[in-house]
Structure 1
Amino acid sequence: MVYVVEDDHTILGLVLYALKSQNIESEGFMNAEDCLKAIEVKIPQLILLDIMLPKIDGFEMLKKLKSHSKTRHISVILLSALNSEFEIIKGLDLGADDYLTKPFGIMELLARIRVILRRNEHNNDEIIFDGLIFSTQKHCVTLYNQPIELTLKEFELLSLLLKNKEKSFSRDEILELIWGYSYTGESRTVDMHIKTLRQKLGEWGKKIKTIRGIGYKLERE
């Protein structure tokens, strides 16, 4: 999910259209206040943030995001007509991942967005996806900054799905990949682990879809 905060209606519409053309889910806001309210409901992977906004400007919103543990991991690309070295350095020092000056090319913007989304999904040993952070090295999972306690098999199952988004796995494939070829139990074991994994992940767990007659997959949305 990408949030776009831009008070110029024309630019906002153009950027949202471009994101939709690339199958990147997005939502637009004309001011920082509405975006911050939306973040309380759903945390995006990336925010495209104009600086010269009414009431709360982009720099102030960026400070708010980076000062809270729940939102500091959100990537931010600043968009602004302010093109002095001072403004660019200020934005990057405040924690922005990138800074693009207006007028900008849509293709360049999309390229920068793709770089950040790819980096976020596979950040060293971490996978970051829609508010969930999965760390193999630390063997931990956090969802919206809250730790999620998983069994070893639940952890391995979630790892498989996260690393293969949109790919469907049959129950037999999951048994072979997670439990190993020597496993002689029932395929219902997979169903039970999927059930408990979904329960522990709450609303987020609905991303794990049952594919009738096949098995399971993790949907991007």
Structure 2
Amino acid sequence: MAAILIVEDEIPINELIKRNLQSAGHTCISVFDGKAAIQELKRHEVDLVLLDIMLPELDGYEVYQQIKGTPTIFLTARSSLSDKVKGLTLGADDYLVKPFEMLELLARVDAVLRRTKKETKNFELDGVKIDFESRQVFLNDCLVECTPKEFDLLEVLVNNRNIALSRDKLLELAWGYDYAGDTRTVDVHIQKLRKKLDMERRIKTVYKLGYRLEV
């Protein structure tokens, strides 16, 4: 997984982001002002920076000018088009306006890491190996045939591991916003994945909500 620097001066938001990213398997460093961000990046190489714009000492734009080359997502309460255009024009990889859902942040983090080729292309757990580039799944080195939707659902569970996802959220992430089916489709696909990959102990049912891949 990735090493991520969180630059956010609001401590509760910083901690919330850190907990969720760590639950997804990432390594996180937290700082709370612009100067500390620059100093931390001189000491450690990271795969991604989550950078608030309104910061003490140096604002996010000033920090970004000094760290260009490191993949960056701006996090900000500034929702105007001009602010967004400025951030993206500077070269940032993405721009997320507060308040945001944590699942949206995790999805954008995964997308940026895939684009910048910093995210792992494989995932392994209990004899299961997933190759995201070839969209192949192996159990104890034997190829397991998965349908496209089974693979999409498995990828969503892996990318959001240790996070409880509702059936509606799984439909949205794996099937798309315009899917017209019902949530029983998720249950059917989950049962198939459990059986095919011997993951009954890993893909947990979350009572009255949905499912979680426990790692």
Output the TM-score relative to the length of structure 1. 0.52
Matches within 5 A, 1:29-108: 29-66=31-68, 72=69, 74-108=70-104
Q: 1:164 to 1:11 in 2, by over 3 A?
A: closer
Q: 1:164 to 1:110 in 2, by over 3 A?
A: closer
Quote the sequence identity (%).
38
Note the aligned Cα RMSD (angstroms): 1.9
Letter in 1 for 2:19: Y
Provide the C-alpha distance between the structure 1 equivalents of 2:48 and 2:87, rounded to a whole number of angstroms.
Answer: 15
Deviation at 1:93, TM superposition (A): 0.5
Q: Which has the larger radius of gyration?
A: 1
Q: Secondary structure at the match of 2:104?
A: helix
Deviation at 1:94, TM superposition (A): 0.7
Provide the C-alpha distance between the structure 2 equivalents of 1:62 and 1:15, rounded to a whole number of angstroms.
Answer: 20
Q: 1:17 to 1:90 in 2, by over 3 A?
A: same
User: 15, 18, 37: which one pairs with 2:17?
Assistant: 15
Q: 1:80 to 1:163 in 2, by over 3 A?
A: closer
Letter in 1 for 2:76: S
Q: 1:61 to 1:41 in 2, by over 3 A?
A: same
Deviation at 1:77, TM superposition (A): 0.3
Letter in 2 for 1:101: V
Matches within 5 A, 1:161-200: none
Provide the C-alpha distance between the structure 1 equivalents of 2:122 and 2:25, rounded to a whole number of angstroms.
Answer: 18
Letter in 2 for 1:115: A
Deviation at 1:113, TM superposition (A): 0.2
Provide the C-alpha distance between the structure 1 equivalents of 2:121 and 2:113, rounded to a whole number of angstroms.
Answer: 14
Segments of 5+ residues of structure 1 without an aligned counterpart are: 67-71, 122-127, 130-161, 168-221
Do 2:38 and 2:66's aligned partners in 1 also have CA atoms closer than 8 Å?
A: no
Segments of 5+ residues of structure 2 without an aligned counterpart are: 126-215
Deviation string 1:115-154 (CA, Å, 9 cap, x unpaired) is 1112222xxxxxx57xxxxxxxxxxxxxxxxxxxxxxxxx
Output the TM-score relative to the length of structure 2. 0.54
Runs of 4+ with >4 A deviation: 162-167
